[in-house]
């Protein structure tokens, strides 16, 4: 193959062949990058990326591909400005999520909702809402209102597509988890898990089991959490999803943190961090550093904890992720409190509180506000902060 068009044609034919993608990753990257900047080939580059991007994770270098994603998106947004299709706008939002952005995709997902609504296309509307619910992992919005959820469920019944209905339940499971409504997350996740296992889809079954595990952990039902996480791991081990090792290790660490087995938690977080580095995924690295910093704080390894928390903080400030910022300022406040720096601890707590007030009102925000209040009381009353657990 010599021409860019030849390569783009091959991408359309072999986009789901992982071995071919891996062998030709460099050439694929170069062709899409150069084609995206050419008016004659920009649309072909956009279409090729839509096909290739679900498999990009198997190629590993997320930082490099993230830059390409944004370049192609800029060209695609111009090219499709006159006649954007719902599925394309939906995928643009997914691409932003894949590259670690949190605010731009909400606009991308909202566009297809508006356009599909005007065209009275129920399936397109449902596709877009599924994307919006997935986005709640990164940025919570008013979608948690019951009337919105009920209207989308009614729409799903109208579309009457079992797989799409299941994807909605799975997206809702993740959304409910990050809204702090963990019982509902478990319920929706189990419905999705049942469908995916019956249809032998190990990737989606594993991801459903994972969010169920995370929700049980949030409810402090740790035996259940570990059982579901082991189930998630067994499904994902049958797939080529390269993120599986990171998410399983990080969640295992969080379960042991809740059990107050801090050395074990740190070991799992170390594994998660190393996996994030292999993925070259800045978001996962920042998350792992935050987790490590918490475990190291409980282990009185304050210098290492401070280093990890500060590095994680720098990333969340760069991406302006207010939810993560609220949490990490709370973690730094706890670290400073254990160090005996009472004034600094209260200052960081106030910052966490101020950020939390800007978040969408939901159970997750209320839970975080309660944690801030408990830690503030403990610091002001000169309590022994080493007696506070990860659930406090």
Domains and their CATH numbers in the chain: 4-138+167-173+252-387 (1.25.40)
Q: What is the dihedral of CA 188, 184, 244, 279, to 10 degrees?
A: 120
- The string of pLDDT tens digits covering residues 184-238 is 999 999 999 999 999 999 999 999 999 999 999 999 999 999 999 999 999 999 9
Q: Which of 164, 184, 166, 165 is nearest to 175 (CA)?
A: 184
Structure tokens of 2?
Answer: 């010599």
C-alpha distances (whole Å) from 110 to each of 62, 65, 129, 184 are 25, 24, 8, 24
Predicted local confidence at residue 81, as pLDDT: 39
Q: What percent of the chain has pLDDT over 90?
A: 53
Mean pLDDT lowest for which of 11-20, 249-258, 336-345?
A: 11-20
CA–CA separation, 289 vs 250, rounded Å?
A: 10
Mean pLDDT of the chain: 83
CA–CA separation, 126 vs 43, rounded Å?
A: 25
- Percent of residues in the chain assigned helix, strand, coil, to nearest 5: 80, 0, 20
User: What is the DSSP code string of 55-110?
Assistant: GGGGG--HHHHHHHHHHHHHHHHHHTSSS--HHHHHHHHHHHHHTT-SSHHHHHHH
17: left (phi over 0), alpha (psi -120 to 50) or beta: beta
CA–CA separation, 291 vs 266, rounded Å?
A: 8
CA–CA separation, 291 vs 289, rounded Å?
A: 5
Predicted local confidence at residue 180, as pLDDT: 96
Predicted local confidence at residue 288, as pLDDT: 97
Rg (CA), the chain: 22
Which has more confidence, 381 or 87? 381
352: helix, strand or coil: helix
CA–CA separation, 290 vs 292, rounded Å?
A: 5
CA–CA separation, 222 vs 267, rounded Å?
A: 18
- The string of pLDDT tens digits covering residues 260-319 is 999 999 999 999 999 999 988 888 999 999 999 999 999 999 999 999 999 999 999 987
315: left (phi over 0), alpha (psi -120 to 50) or beta: alpha
pLDDT band per the 50, 70, 90 thresholds, residue 99: very low
DSSP class of residue 206? H
- Reply yes or no on whether the pLDDT at 337 is more than 90: yes
Predicted local confidence at residue 55, as pLDDT: 61
Which has more confidence, 331 or 116? 331
Q: What percent of the chain has pLDDT over 70?
A: 78
- The string of pLDDT tens digits covering residues 366-386 is 999 999 999 999 999 999 999
Which has more confidence, 118 or 185? 185
pLDDT band per the 50, 70, 90 thresholds, residue 8: confident
- pTM greater than 0.85 (yes/no): no
Average of pLDDT values for 326-330?
98
Chain centroid to CA 345? 29
- Reply yes or no on whether the pLDDT at 244 is more than 80: yes
- The string of pLDDT tens digits covering residues 32-47 is 888 877 767 776 776 6
| Helix or strand run (H / E) with residue 238 | none
User: What is the DSSP code string of 297-342?
Assistant: HHTT-HHHHHHHHHHHHHHHHHHT-HHHHHHHHHHHHHHHHHHT-H
CA–CA separation, 338 vs 322, rounded Å?
A: 24
DSSP class of residue 361? P
Predicted local confidence at residue 11, as pLDDT: 83
């Amino acid at each position: 193959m010599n021409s860019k068009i030849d390569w783009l044609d091959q991408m359309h034919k072999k986009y789901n062949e992982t071995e071919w993608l891996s062998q030709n990753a460099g050439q694929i990257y170069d062709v899409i990058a150069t084609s995206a900047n050419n008016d004659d080939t920009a649309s072909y580059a956009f279409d090729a990326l839509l096909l290739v991007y679900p498999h990009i994770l198997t190629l590993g270098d997320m930082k490099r591909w993230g830059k390409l994603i944004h370049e192609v998106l800029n060209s695609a947004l111009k090219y499709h400005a006159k006649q954007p299709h719902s599925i394309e706008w939906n995928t643009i939002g997914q691409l932003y999520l894949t590259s670690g952005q949190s605010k731009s995709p909400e606009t991308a997902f909202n566009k297809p909702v508006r356009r599909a609504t005007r065209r009275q296309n129920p399936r397109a509307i449902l596709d877009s809402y599924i994307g919006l619910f997935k986005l709640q992992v990164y940025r919570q919005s008013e979608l948690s209102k019951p009337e919105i959820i009920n209207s989308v469920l009614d729409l799903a019944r109208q579309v009457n597509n079992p797989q799409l209905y299941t994807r909605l339940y799975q997206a809702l499971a993740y959304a409910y988890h990050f809204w702090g409504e963990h019982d509902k997350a478990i319920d929706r996740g189990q419905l999705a898990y049942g469908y995916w296992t019956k249809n032998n889809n190990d990737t989606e079954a594993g991801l459903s089991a994972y969010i169920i595990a995370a929700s049980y952990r949030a409810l402090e039902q740790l035996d259940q959490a570990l059982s579901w996480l082991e189930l998630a791991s067994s499904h994902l081990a049958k797939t080529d999803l390269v993120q599986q090792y990171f998410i399983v290790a990080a969640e295992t660490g969080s379960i042991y943190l809740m059990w107050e087995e801090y050395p074990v938690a740190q070991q799992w977080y170390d594994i998660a961090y190393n996996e994030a580095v292999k993925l070259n995924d800045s978001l996962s690295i920042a998350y792992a550093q935050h987790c490590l910093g918490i475990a190291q704080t409980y282990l009185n390894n304050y210098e290492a904890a401070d280093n990890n928390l500060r590095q994680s903080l720098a990333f969340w400030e760069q991406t302006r992720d207010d939810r993560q910022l609220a949490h990490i300022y709370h973690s730094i406040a706890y670290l400073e409190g254990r160090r005996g720096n009472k004034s600094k601890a209260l200052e960081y707590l106030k910052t966490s509180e101020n950020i939390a007030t800007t978040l969408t009102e939901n159970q997750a925000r209320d839970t975080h506000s309660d944690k801030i209040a408990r830690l503030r009381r403990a610091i002001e009353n000169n309590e022994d902060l080493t007696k506070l657990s990860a659930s406090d």
